[in-house]
Amino acid sequence: MSANHPTKEPADFGIGNRPNESVASAASWPAIFAGAITAAATSLILVALGSGIGLASISPWPNSGASVTTFSVMTAIWLIVVQWLSALMGGYMTGRLRAKWVGTHTHEVFFRDTAHGFVTWALSTVIGAALLASAVVSTSGKAVEAASTVASGTARGAAGSMNVNESIAPYDLDRLLRPSSPESDSSKADGRAEVGRILAKGISVGDVSSDDRDYLAKVVTARTGISEPDARKRVDEVISTEKATEMKAREAADAARKAAATASIFMALSMVIGAFIASASAALGGRLRDLHP
């Protein structure tokens, strides 16, 4: 080539020859860990404060203190506040403590700051879940150990006197040995237990059978001396009362299930918002960090 047209060497796109390529990671892990620990500590403080407020708002006395619904709503709101405040503190701490990126475009700096806030939120969430799981496992292990001890002791005590197959329900044994006409001088303790088993069996399947109703009426007549129609009326009233109680218990359990499902959904949404808050606060902290180096 002539002197007026110098030769131009081809560009080398190898990573090692890029003058603007940094060998260090863009993640400031010390700042991330500091923010995560800050978020976890903030959560512990707020949870302890919320527990104190919650215990102060309830009372064992009737018509006193917050109701169950009010307490549940307060708990859900406070957990959301805990999630958001801890995310805010952790993300902002990460943004202020991260190392300044020199020669980096402002858009890239903004992305890195938000990414640092998100990673901080994720790490603090994992730390909180690990602590909660550890506490649950410890408590469950103690409960299982205690239950095993009680069960083994009961089994040893009953092993020598076991005369019937454990698979046979007491209600079935009662039906097998049920007399045709109960006598008034039969054991009251055995009679009460048998009646209780009949009612429990009937309520568990939805209703007491006609045969069991007839037998209960005879038992009541033999024990109390009232006429059989009055005994039947008394039996029907007790069965209706027990069925209403069972229905209330089922409704309460269903309401608790729905409340737990709603709380889980709101908690998941609050965690998503917490991740956004942590990212935004980290971007804010990083911006202030760059303005005041």
A 10 A CB-CB count for 194 gives 23
DSSP type of residue 180: S
Q: Provide the pLDDT confidence category of residue 1 given band limits of 50, 70 and 90.
A: very low
> DSSP secondary structure string, 70-126?
HHHHHHHHHHHHHHHHHHHHHHHHHHHHSPP-TT--HHHHHHHHHHHHHHHHHHHHH
Whether residue 142 sits in one domain with residue 33: yes
Average pLDDT, the chain: 76
Q: How far apart are the first and last CA of the chain?
A: 51
- How many domains is the chain built from? 2
Tell me the C-alpha distance between 205 and 252, whole Å.
19
Residue 38, pLDDT above cutoff 90: yes
Whether residue 195 sits in one domain with residue 285: no
Confidence at residue 180, expressed as pLDDT on a 0 to 100 scale: 61
Whole-prediction pTM value? 0.58
- Residue 218 tokens read as 């005879």
- Residue 135 tokens read as 């506490």
Whether residue 228 sits in one domain with residue 96: no
> Over pLDDT 70: what percentage of the chain?
71
A 10 A CB-CB count for 190 gives 10
Tell me the C-alpha distance between 98 and 159, whole Å.
68
Whether residue 241 sits in one domain with residue 198: yes
Confidence at residue 61, expressed as pLDDT on a 0 to 100 scale: 74
Q: Which of 2-16, 223-237, 246-260 has the lowest mean pLDDT?
A: 2-16
Cα 274-275-279 angle, rounded to 5 deg: 115
Question: What are the pLDDT digits (tens) for 264-279?
Answer: 888 888 888 999 999 9
Confidence at residue 94, expressed as pLDDT on a 0 to 100 scale: 93
Q: Provide the pLDDT confidence category of residue 89 given band limits of 50, 70 and 90.
A: very high
Question: What are the pLDDT digits (tens) for 119-162?
Answer: 999 999 888 888 777 766 665 555 556 555 544 554 444 444 44
Domain with 213 in it: 170-252
- Residue 211 tokens read as 């045969």
Whether residue 44 sits in one domain with residue 65: yes
Whether residue 135 sits in one domain with residue 176: no
> Over pLDDT 90: what percentage of the chain?
15
Whether residue 278 sits in one domain with residue 136: yes
Tell me the C-alpha distance between 102 and 107, whole Å.
13
Whether residue 100 sits in one domain with residue 40: yes
Question: What are the pLDDT digits (tens) for 62-81?
Answer: 777 777 677 777 887 888 88
Q: Nearest to residue 34, comparing CAs of 89, 106, 100, 85?
A: 89
- Residue 92 tokens read as 């902002």
Mean pLDDT highest for which of 47-51, 57-61, 82-86, 198-202? 82-86
Q: Which of 18-27, 183-192, 262-271 has the lowest mean pLDDT?
A: 183-192
Has residue 99 been placed in a domain? yes
